């Protein structure tokens, strides 16, 4: 019997800033550790504002300054995503509540974890802030939060302490 890849869905509001970055950084970390095929990642938004759009140019510039280039097309989360993915990782409490509104089975609820649950520097913070209305420093901060959180998430998965 072939075991499927563990599938992780990162979720934010519009699916053009936080969740696509998280998915692509998670994939990069998986590849760097030689774990290709063991994990898959995708991203979705709780709202339909940016379906089909590319990532926010401000985050693309922030990532490029750090030597990381990525692509994505915005999509909205669908109820069947809660069955298709093994872990659902919202960026903040509002995103989490929107995802939980789609839950129809107990096993779906158990899949939902905030990204900052895995952030070793969270110091009690639960949300990856949305940098939409802020300046460049907000994008830098969010990049740092997401990068260290997805590394820690993968550490946790590899240690067998989650999912």
Per-position b or e across 8-17, b if 16+ CB within 10 A of its CB = bbbbbbbbbb
Catalytic residue among 7, 12, 61, 104: 12
CA distance 116 to 148: 10
The H or E element that residue 90 is part of is: strand 87-90
Query: How is residue 2 written in tokens?
Result: 């072939």
Catalytic residue among 42, 56, 92, 130: 130
User: Is 58 among the catalytic positions?
Assistant: no
Query: How is residue 122 written in tokens?
Result: 């969270």
User: Is 83 among the catalytic positions?
Assistant: no
User: Is 18 among the catalytic positions?
Assistant: yes
CA torsion 89→94→96→97, rounded to 10°?
-170
The DSSP output letter for 115 is G
- Asked if 4 and 161 count as a contact pair (C-beta separation under 8 A), the reply is no
Catalytic residue among 18, 75, 116, 151: 18
User: Could you give the residue numbers annotated as active site?
Assistant: 12, 18, 130
């Amino acid at each position: 019997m072939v075991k499927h890849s563990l599938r992780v869905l990162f979720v934010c509001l519009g699916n053009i800033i936080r969740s696509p970055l998280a998915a692509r950084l998670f994939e990069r970390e998986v590849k760097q550790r030689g774990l290709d095929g063991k994990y898959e990642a995708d991203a979705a938004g709780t709202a339909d504002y940016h379906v089909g759009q590319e990532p926010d140019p401000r985050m693309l510039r922030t990532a490029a300054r750090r030597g990381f280039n990525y692509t994505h097309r915005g999509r909205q989360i669908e109820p069947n995503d809660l069955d298709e993915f093994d872990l659902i990782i919202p960026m903040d409490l509002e995103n989490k509540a929107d995802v939980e509104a789609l839950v129809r089975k107990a096993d779906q609820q158990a899949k939902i974890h905030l990204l900052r649950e895995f952030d070793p520097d969270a110091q009690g913070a639960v949300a990856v802030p949305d940098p939409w209305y802020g300046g460049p420093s907000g994008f830098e901060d969010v990049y740092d939060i997401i990068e260290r959180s997805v590394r820690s998430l993968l550490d946790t998965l590899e240690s067998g302490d989650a999912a």
